[in-house]
Homo-oligomer: A and B are copies of this chain.
Amino acid sequence: MNKEDHFIQQFTNQTNLIGDDAAVIGEMVYSQDAFFENVHFKKDWMSLKQIAAKSMLVNISDAIAMNAIPQYALLTVAIPAYYSTSDMRKLANGFKKVAKDYNIKIIGGDTISNEKLDISVTIISKSENPIFRNGAKKDDLVCYTGDLGTCKKDLKKLFKGKKISSKSKFIKPKLKDNFFYEIAKYVNASLDISDGLFFELERLSKSSKVGFEFFDKISENIGTSGEEYEMLFTFPKKYLEKIMAASKKHNIALNIFAKVIEGKYETKYKNHHFNKRDNN
């Protein structure tokens, strides 16, 4: 167990509430995620507006994975002292754009002077029917949305000092909210792919106490690409047609790659955020 897991474990013993993408209290769903300079991004990789936007999108992704509709946000923003008023406006515009796109009200938070730009976002969402990681059932089909692998490639380019397209999912995650809310009633378990497919599958295996039978070999490039923010979910086979119809309607690629079996899945590939590779 790594140090961070050990740290989280201390609280899990206490509450049993930690471990999903977000915490559910009644109809409210709470997610809090850090988005720190030199941990989650480097400042020459993205504009300030893109950084602010992504810090919110990765939290909204957690809410979507729980079938929750984001409503409010709290922002803690630690800002380098040398930032100009124009820099601050660019940051604010990034937050406001995403808030507008997702109909989220920014209700509070904190701003401080710091050595680097460190953002912590809390998203407060509502769900009448939250989906957890522990609901996968034997014989469920397992699938993910979109294409995996491009974020890993783009990250490699960035580390080599190359430019990537401003349309890259690494810069602007393409959330699948409308599609996922529509099919949520058919889904047994879901999470978003932030740390790479293989690692998310291990999380799913642990939570649901299941294994997976893969239909095809999944390449390392696909399985270890983090920061994708695609949806990973399982559903009973009888809903296949309905889910395919919804994916067609919303123009979402769907990759049905395994079925749920008894057993356990473990991967040797762990923690595919670049920060974990860099710092541990």
Contact = CB atoms under 8 A, between A and B. Distances in A.
B17 A92 contact: no
A261 to B, nearest CB: 30
A210 to B, nearest CB: 23
- The number of times this chain is found in the oligomer is 2
A14 B279 contact: no
Contact of A23 (B74, B99, B278): B74
Interface stretch (A76-84, A164-172, A178-186, A233-241): A76-84
Interface in A24-52: 25, 28, 30-34, 36, 38-40
A262 B149 CA distance: 64
A140 interface: no
A123 to B, nearest CB: 10
A66 to B, nearest CB: 11
A218 interface: no
Contact of A34 (B4, B22, B120): B120
A263 interface: no
A264 interface: no
Interface stretch (A104-112, A195-203, A248-256): A104-112
Interface residues of A, number: 62
Contact of A120 (B17, B76, B85, B115): B76
Contacts of A276: 113
Nearest to A12: B106
A110 B14 contact: no
A11 B32 CA distance: 19
A17 B104 CA distance: 13
Nearest to A25: B72
Contact of A113 (B6, B39, B75, B111): B39
Contact of A105 (B15, B36, B72, B124): B15
A52 B78 CA distance: 18
Contacts of A275: 112-113
A47 to B, nearest CB: 17
Contacts of A103: none
Given A23-B72, A120-B76, A32 B88 contact: no
A18 interface: yes
B10 A107 contact: no
B108 A31 contact: yes
A78 B3 contact: no
11 contacts: A3-B85, A11-B96, A23-B72, A25-B72, A30-B108, A32-B108, A32-B109, A33-B110, A38-B115, A113-B276, A118-B118
